[in-house]
Amino acid sequence: MATCDLKLGVVGLGALGRPMAVNLINDGFRTQLHNRSRAAEAGMDLAGAHRCASPAEAANDVDVLLLCVSDDDAVEAVLFGAGGASEGLRPGCVVLDCSTISPAKAIDCAERLSLMGVSYLDAPVTGGTEGAKAGSLTVLVGGDASALKQVRPVLEVIGRTVHHFGAVGRGQQVKAVNQVLVAGSYAAVAEAMALGQRLELPMQQVVEALKGGAAGSWALNHRAEGMLAGTYPLGFKLALHHKDLGIALSSAASVQLELPISRLVLQQEAELMGRGHGDEDVSALHRQYETIT
């Protein structure tokens, strides 16, 4: 059990938020939880935490409020909507926002919370559900160094590595770079698997041969076999990556940069979402080749 005396609030118990909360509870942190769908708060893995009826209740008297929700609108509602966390936060606490949102929204949240004496860190994560369960996420942080020091015990439980990039918003900008890389690598693996299948190559052997060469990547190592089998176990939802890639393209546009590969993947994802595959893993990009003859 941890000797840390930090009291935590956690809002957002989705594919990443729930395992993060479980790890914090198991490490001994006093934790109070809220999720928009209250059923997500149930389960023996969360039994050590206090269930709360609203973000405001989850934020009451905490040292750190961890958010892991879907988008800008969700962060706005959780922090500043009716029953929002801003009603319960006290001066001196830190909002640790692990959501992936636009840099502008992160900066806006930080400015509004600072008027209340509350610090804000944008701290998006990468590593998927596997990393969230293992406590091995990579955390990309923007914000004040003293606030980062305050939440360090929390980050050491949920992440293997923590990287500080400067002011609020910088963490989200680095996450945008990450999502561009994810787009390209997953799309490339999907194309490569489709080509090998069409050529009727022994694809299990092909994948093993290529993992250790210049073409090796996380996507090849962890998602190629699922693509070949036509199964897409959830690591990160395609619909959420689509949202993140939109943020990346907006960031690129703000500095007059065109990203043609990312824009093509954005279009492919939109088409798959239109076919009902938005809740599948990003590796479902391989599905687009099922109908190509």
pLDDT in tens, 64-79: 999 999 999 999 999 9
pLDDT digits (tens, 9 = 90+) for 220-233: 999 999 999 999 99
Q: Please report how the helices 103-114 and 170-198 are oriented relative to each other, as an axis angle in degrees rounded to 10.
A: 150
> Given a cut of 80, is residue 173 above it in pLDDT?
yes
**CATH 1.10.1040.10 residue spans of the chain:** 172-289
Top CATH class of 7-166 equals alpha beta
Q: Which CATH number fits domain 172-289: 1.10.1040.10, 1.20.120.80, 2.40.110.10, 3.40.80.10?
A: 1.10.1040.10
Q: Please report how the helices 260-274 and 238-254 are oriented relative to each other, as an axis angle in degrees rounded to 10.
A: 150
Quickly state the pLDDT bin for 5 (edges 50, 70, 90). confident
- Is there a catalytic annotation at residue 175? yes
Question: Residue 2's pLDDT is what?
Answer: 46
Quickly state the pLDDT bin for 292 (edges 50, 70, 90). low
**CATH 3.40.50.720 residue spans of the chain:** 7-166
Query: What is the pTM for the complete model shown?
Result: 0.94
Average pLDDT, the chain: 96
Question: Residue 291's pLDDT is what?
Answer: 61
**Selected catalytic residue, list 105, 175, 237, 243:** 175
Contact by Cβ (8 Å): 106, 120 = yes
Q: Strand 159-164's sheet: what is its strand order?
A: 125-126, 137-141, 159-164
Q: Nearest 5 degrees, angle CA 50-CA 53-CA 55?
A: 90
pLDDT digits (tens, 9 = 90+) for 250-272: 999 999 999 999 999 999 999 99
